[in-house]
Structure 1
Amino acid sequence: MPLCLDPNGNRCSYWPQDAHFVWEKNGQKIETCVSEQTHVLADGRVHVLTWIKDAVVQDSQYCCLVSSKAGNKMSTSYISVEGSNNQDSWSRGFASWKSIISEHDKLMTNWKKTWESCNKKDIV
């Protein structure tokens, strides 16, 4: 955490200097793509921002914990991805489609063999 000074150059009394953030996604600690920024306000208070960059492909729970000797605070957010619950139906649909294409391919292969055998016998 960067050193936080008020407009007079004094250490900020509103933000614990040992404070740090811990981010979790679905219960797993995130250590990459975490950003933090602090802004000292005119009255000496500190506005602290933290955020992560992440690709979300399924419903996820994010937790941000700020921890210091003074105490802990946690914020939890839920991100819901539209259609993510339909993943299984998409997989079943794709498997069904693949099966139909495979059957069609077998039918066309048999048709081709029949056609070629007719050509050899001069039957058209």
Structure 2
Amino acid sequence: MGVKTVLLVEDDELIGKLLVFILQRDGYQVEWLKDGQQAQELVLSGRDFSAVVLDLMLPFFDGLFLLELIRNQAAMASVPVLILTSKMGEEDIALALKKGADDYLVKPFQPPELSARLRRLIGKQG
């Protein structure tokens, strides 16, 4: 099996750079998009990803909109989605999981925990 590619949708420059570093260190290729509009275009293009790391608060389209879009695209419907956001309310977490998120991690996060959660999600794909 080839290198696994993670779609990262994160608008914060510093957090994005940190995430790219962590994901590349863990052996993933990373496609980093900084707003919901770019992410919408890529999701609709039918590209294949091993996982998605998705912030909820984004310019143009929010993460919940993108999550629903991902779940409604045949090419991406079964791709694991890890929500990584500063929204920590019970309602936010419950809604994201209800809409199809596979996991939910609140910022600030610990890099080893992010790595472990992503490994577990990608490993479940087979």
TM-score range, shorter chain: under 0.3
- How high is the TM-score relative to the length of structure 1? 0.19
Higher relative contact order (CA 8 A, sep 6+): 2
